[in-house]
Amino acid sequence: MEWASWSEFWNMGGYGFYVWGSYGVTAACIAVEVYLLKRAAGDTRRRLKRMQQWEEQ
């Protein structure tokens, strides 16, 4: 194990800002993509259903 304590882990040998900046933004990008994908799935289904109702009239 490399790390003696959690604070050392977050500090990353003084490079914590850069390391966590990179990992954080990566995680954020993926989270946003997954969130948008989830939302789009629901939207698409609702829209298609609405269009189907409309066309059946």
Partner 1 sequence: MNLYTYASPANFYVLAGKLVPWFAWGTGIFTVWGLYIAFFLAPTDFQQSEAYRIIFIHVPAAWMSMFIYLVMAFWGAIGLAFNTRLSFMMARALAPTGAIFTFIALWTGAWWGKPMWGAWWVWDARLTSELILLFLYVGIIALWAAIDDIKRGDRAGSLLTLIGAINVPIIYFSVKWWNTLHQGASVSLTKAPSMAATMLQGMLVLAIAAWLYTITVALIRVRRIILERERQTEWVKALLEKET
Provide the binding-site residues for partner 1, judged by CB under 8 A: 1-3, 9, 12-16, 18-19, 21-23, 25-26, 29-30, 33-34, 37, 40-41, 44-45, 48-49, 51-52
Instruction: Please report how close the Cβ of residue 52 comes to partner 1 at its closest, in angstroms.
Output: 6
For partner 1, the closer of residues 15 and 57 by Cβ is: 15
Neighbouring residues of 48: CB distance < 8 A, sequence distance ≥ 6: none
Instruction: Please report how close the Cβ of residue 7 comes to partner 1 at its closest, in angstroms.
Output: 13
CA–CA dist 8, 10 (Å, integer):
5
Cβ atoms of residues 43 and 33 within 8 Å: no
